[in-house]
Amino acid sequence: MLKKLKLKHLLAFALAAIAAIMSMTIGQSWEPVVAQNQSQNQVQKQAQKPAEAPLQTISLQNAGLQLQEVAQGVYALIASTDFPPASPAVAIANGGIVIGSESVLVIDPFQTSDLAELLIATVKSLTDKPIKYVLNTHYHFDHTGGNVAFVKQNIPVIGRGVIREYIQSGKNNTNGITPPTVIVNSQTDIWLGDRQVRIERVDGHSAGTDLVAYVPDAKVLFTGDMVFNKRIPYTGDSDIRQWQGSLYRLIATFPEAKVVPGHGDVTDVTGLQAQQAYFSWLERTALEWKAQILTKEQVLEKFAKVPDAYKDYKFKGIYPLNLESAYEQFTRSRTIPLIP
């Protein structure tokens, strides 16, 4: 019995010694590896959450969208978020639905396929008519990311100009987005049974891909990002003077229209005029920089604060980009030297 006890004690001592040696030789590197693997797994799970979220959990409310009937059979889905949004599940841009006697047009299917599926479900809740067309008012990801949900159903997606080339090259965060399948480059009328929708080209916001859609019998104009209503506009690939010219034309052509902007609440011609006034102020300010011979760095530092006139606007994070765009576009000509 005594020999057995001694043997047990020796075995226990040996195991303890082995454990101590293992902890001294490999313990320091083993624990961080485990922690790192756990962290990577958590990141992977978090990254997969939006894709794995069941469709029934997506709603207009948690997508930050409000459905508004702008006219009979014409709806806007208005996004309330600031930028950047708190979650990929929150819609950044506005969407549109136009219902005719035979079919439906969808405008700007948001930035993800899940939000596009929500848009499809919303259409089904309003009508039993099929979706016949989808319109991308321009190439930016927050208006085109949901294209894939419609292309999978063989529904034509309409865009303009070089929109396919931009998206296929991944321009401006459009990597992986499905491009439009139909390209129009001039005024085009589509019919949803007895309801006409006129698609017109405009310029200035997104490098030759801008379109607007007008519903004549309802007097509703979907402007895409030609109008940011009480939002600081995105000007990353804009031509502000062209944008101004397009706004003048829209004001003259559609003075009585209800206006669904690309971002912000439904408005009317006053929303177009406010966008125009903002750009006029920006141009005047930039010409003052030019007169003072300010550098871009001086402009970004001295004028970093959003003016009080626009303090209630959302998308303030984009404001420095507006300063850069204005500087490049309005002060880039060389100052003519004085003749002695």
Contact 198, 236 (CB under 8 A): no
* pLDDT (tens digit per residue) in 287-339: 999 999 999 999 999 999 999 999 999 999 999 999 999 999 999 855 444 44
Nearest to 298 by CA among 324, 278, 335: 324
Q: What is the pLDDT of residue 333?
A: 58
Q: 233 pLDDT band (50/70/90 cuts)?
A: very high
Which residues is 133 bridged to in the sheet? 105
Kind of pairing, strands 188-191 and 65-71?
A: unpaired
* pLDDT (tens digit per residue) in 78-120: 999 999 998 989 999 999 999 999 999 999 999 999 999 999 9
The encoded tokens of residue 338 equal 């004085």
Nearest-angstrom CA–CA distance, 43 and 45: 5
Nearest-angstrom CA–CA distance, 325 and 101: 44
Contact 158, 130 (CB under 8 A): no
Q: What is the pTM of this model?
A: 0.82
Contact 53, 114 (CB under 8 A): yes
Displacement of CA 147 from its chain's centroid (Å): 13
Q: 64 pLDDT band (50/70/90 cuts)?
A: very high
Q: What is the pLDDT of residue 35?
A: 30
> Could you tell me the CA-to-CA distances from 1 to 8, 10, 11, 241, 284 in Å, in that order?
11, 14, 15, 100, 102
Q: 142 pLDDT band (50/70/90 cuts)?
A: very high
